[in-house]
Structure 1
Amino acid sequence: MDIKIETYIEQIVSQLNCGEEEKREIIDEMRDHLYLLKNEFLEQGFPNDEATQRALERFGEQKQLTKGLQESLFPFYRVFRIGTWILFGLYSFIILFKLLFHRIIIRILESINGSTRNPYFITPLHSDGYFDLEVLKINSNIVPFKNTIEYVTGSARFNLDIIINNTLGNVLVFLPFGIFLPLLFKKCKSLSKVVVASVSISFSIEVLQLVLKIGQFDIDDVILNVMGSIIGFLLIKSIKSVANLPKRRVKSI
């Protein structure tokens, strides 16, 4: 095995958005072609390293090969990727607007109107202000599933829309996140990386809501958001697996 050739092949194939079986077939074809080219140069009397370099140069530039292979595998890949980025941008804007920007606008408008009421943040009358430990306790929940259990078991105390929004709603709102990440970011192809990204984003939003006094920090929201992204990730993986089934069946016949 030639390390340069193997690295060259790996760098090209790793960028392709296709199934593992297709990748293995492409690797085998590229490997056969490259080693044939290298042997031709060796027979012409070139040293091993130079023969490898000439074979790689003749085979083609990596970016162009990756682009060509991706287009042959998925002719509308560019259109699909642009469309996916647009949808991800719209999704991100809607989420940030709903959870942050909309609340900030409401608080600004209430301040302009002279109102001291804050529907998102509880401040006791005799507290010492924002950094009062009691205020932080009232506006924070760090006990996993504490509030979720209260919503689920407290149907007599909460309206149905409140229960749904704070349980199922928190799952569904991050479900698209688990779909978009592996589609758009090559570093987020694994479930563990999607979970880390989801925790980071959700936790940051919760902290910002608390710091800006436009919401309360709830660890349950983070957990439910991450559950939603996991469901989204598993969903897109399942769709990809099903999409590859016909090809596998044809090859096995």
Structure 2
Amino acid sequence: MKLEQYAEQVVSRLPCSKWEKQDVKDELMDHLNSMKSELVEEGYEEQEAVLLTIQRFGSTKAISRQLSESMPLIDKYIRKWVMTLFFLYVAISSYLLLLSPDRFRRRAFTVEWKQRMLEYGVPQYTHLFQNTKPFQTLVDYVYHYDNYSFGTVMYNLIGNVMLFVPLGLLLPLIFMSFQSVHRVFFLTLSASLIIETLQLLFSLGSFDVDDLLLNVLGGLIGYGMFRVGAALIRKRRNNNKFDDDLSASSF
């Protein structure tokens, strides 16, 4: 067997893209050729050096298994696309939550409302766009559902949850440091708090602590989806490992 064929058999079993496989193959070939050159310098014939190099590296299945176990869930080429998707998600979310024309129409109404309340001498009504009591808005949706349209309720409940699902899902895929539920929780909470505060300060929306709860729930759901996906990927890799061991033991 030639070194090129040996390297090709090793990378053919790896759970990654063809571009990543080519990178691994190139690196593996560098190591193989380096060892072969050392053996030739020691006095071995070319063919003997190739056979001894393959023997020292081990079986292709064993090398493939070791490389597979050390690889991240997604390789660097797929990670680039996930990173692009993440930045697109951040841009769209920022637009919807802070920069959309609808936000500025609401801002005009909010500013006008606050000015009128101050002129009427009832400044307490300028705080209608704030809720700092947990579950107050959620309970209001339940007990006074007839005051709201179905679309409004779904937009505020489901929308606040779904908007942060990609954050909890994509972050652990891109950054290994975020493969922790605690870090995802605190980052989601911080991001939601910043957005709610900006909406309050610039009158682009209301500050609602229930939105924080729903946003964090969405981030945790996204993280849960990541954990399930990661478990399925690792299970598949372990099954492939078991199949390799089973086929090897049959000879």
Correspondence 1:85-234 to 2 at 5 A: 85-103=83-101, 106-107=104-105, 117-118=108-109, 122-123=113-114, 125-127=116-118, 134-135=124-125, 137-234=127-224
Q: Distance in 2 between matches of 1:127 and 1:153?
A: 31
Give the alignment's TM-score, normalised by structure 2: 0.62
The C-alpha deviation readout for 1:170-227, integer Å capped at 9, x for no partner, is 1111001100111122321100000100011000000000000111100000110000
Residues of 1 paired with 2:238 and 2:217: CA distance? 31
Partner letter of residue 109 of structure 2?
A: N
Which residue of structure 1 aligns with residue 230 of structure 2? Answer: 240
CA displacement, residues 38-81 of structure 1 (integer Å, 9 cap, x when unaligned): xxxxxxxxxxxxxxxxxxxxxxxxxxxxxxx68x8479722211
CA-based RMSD of the aligned residues comes to 3.2
SS in 2 for 1:231: helix
> Deviation of residue 102 (structure 1)?
1.0
TM (norm. structure 1) is 0.61
Post-superposition shift, 1:117?
4.3
- SS at 1:214 equivalent: coil
SS at match of 1:123: helix
Between structures 1 and 2, the one with greater helix share: 2
Is the contact made by 2:117 and 2:123 (CA closer than 8 Å) also made in structure 1?
Answer: no
Could you tell me which residue of structure 2 aligns to residue 82 of structure 1? Answer: 80
**Range that drifts further, 150-159 or 189-198:** 150-159
Give the CA deviation at 1:121.
8.0
Cα 1:139–1:105 shift into 2, 3 Å? closer
Which protein is bigger by CA-based radius of gyration?
2
Q: Per the alignment, do residues 163 and 230 of structure 1 end up closer, same or farther by CA in structure 2, a change over 3 Å counting?
A: same
Residue 195 of structure 1 contacts residue 229 of structure 1 at CA under 8 Å; is this kept in 2? Answer: yes
Q: CA deviation at 1:119?
A: 5.5
Q: Structure 2 regions of 5+ residues with no counterpart?
A: 1-15, 17-66, 247-251
* Separation in structure 2 between the aligned mates of residue 143 and residue 105 of structure 1, nearest angstrom: 24
Bigger relative contact order, structure 1 or 2 (CA pairs below 8 A, ≥6 apart): 2
| Alignment CA distance shift 1:106-1:92 (3 Å) | same
Superposed displacement of residue 139, structure 1: 1.7
Contact 2:169 2:226 in 1 (8 A): yes
- Are the aligned partners of 1:209 and 1:216 in contact in 2 as well (CA < 8 Å)? yes
